[in-house]
């Protein structure tokens, strides 16, 4: 029992070490949420119910279904890393606690519905609900994930084409600018023309040195 308690304590310490900013960041975030986000308790119940019906019909809350499983997986990884010998026990504990929190998913739906209730009046919410309950609205809701996914891929392809075209145009214009600048620098270089004296001496024919007269042989002495 003591070893188990010690392991759990170590796991908690490890979690705090891995996430040192968690405790510091959650309090300001919670305070900010209370100030900036609508409080479901302050929304008219009939309006809130319409908004909850709307987010269920339009599927806008489905993407948040992964939050609780992701948090549970993160907790498993953190505690198992600190206590590998307790892996099976940790998985069992985390799964039980995560399952006990499934009912709290409704809290998020209330908060999301309050956001929609803040953005539309009750009559508008009713019209939106009626639309999503219609055949066209149901088709729109069912097709929306696929359409949005296709839009993302289309936008990515377009961005790639734009990037390639822009790169080619930039390279071409920079190449032209460099060539133009090199030509201007070449034309601005001073010409070194020879002066008159230098030119005259350079153009005058080169004369060979005068030949020296032949030396006469010395006269022989008379006998």
What is the domain partition of the chain in residue ranges? 2-23+33-133, 143-175
Distance CA 198, CA 202 (A): 6
Element (H, E) at 143: helix 135-187
**3-state DSSP assignment of residue 67:** helix
Contacts of 81 (CB under 8 A, 6+ apart): 14, 18
The token duo for 51 is 């908004």
| Amino acid 191: pLDDT | 58
Per-residue pLDDT of the chain (223 residues; tens, 9 = 90+): 344 434 444 455 444 444 544 444 445 555 554 568 999 999 999 999 999 999 999 999 988 999 999 999 999 999 999 999 999 999 999 999 999 999 999 999 999 999 999 999 999 999 999 999 999 999 999 999 899 999 999 999 999 999 999 999 999 999 999 999 888 888 776 655 555 555 545 444 545 455 555 555 555 544 4
This prediction has a pTM of 0.60
DSSP 187-198: HTSPP----HHH
- 131 CB contacts (<8 Å, ≥6 apart)? 137
- Cα–Cα distance measured from residue 82 to residue 13, given in angstroms and rounded to the nearest whole number: 9
């Amino acid at each position: 029992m003591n070893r188990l308690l010690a392991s759990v304590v170590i796991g908690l310490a490890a979690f705090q070490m891995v996430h040192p900013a968690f405790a510091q960041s959650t309090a300001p975030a919670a305070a900010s949420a209370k100030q900036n986000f609508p409080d479901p308790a302050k929304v008219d119940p009939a309006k809130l119910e319409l908004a909850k019906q709307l987010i269920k019909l339009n599927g806008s809350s489905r993407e948040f279904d992964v939050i609780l499983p992701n948090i549970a997986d993160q907790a498993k990884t953190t505690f198992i890393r600190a206590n590998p010998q307790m892996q099976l026990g940790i998985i069992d504990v985390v799964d039980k606690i995560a399952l006990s929190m499934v009912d709290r998913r409704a809290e998020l739906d209330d908060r999301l519905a309050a956001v929609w209730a803040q953005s539309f009046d009750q009559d508008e919410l009713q019209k939106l609900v009626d639309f999503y309950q219609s055949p066209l609205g149901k088709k729109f809701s069912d097709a929306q994930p696929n359409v949005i996914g296709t839009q993302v891929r289309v936008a990515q392809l377009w961005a790639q084409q734009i990037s390639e075209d822009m790169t080619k145009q930039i390279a071409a214009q920079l190449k032209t600018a460099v060539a133009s600048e090199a030509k201007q620098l070449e034309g601005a270089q001073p010409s070194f023309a020879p002066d008159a004296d230098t030119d005259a001496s350079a153009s005058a024919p080169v004369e060979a040195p005068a030949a020296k007269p032949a030396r006469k042989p010395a006269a022989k002495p008379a006998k």
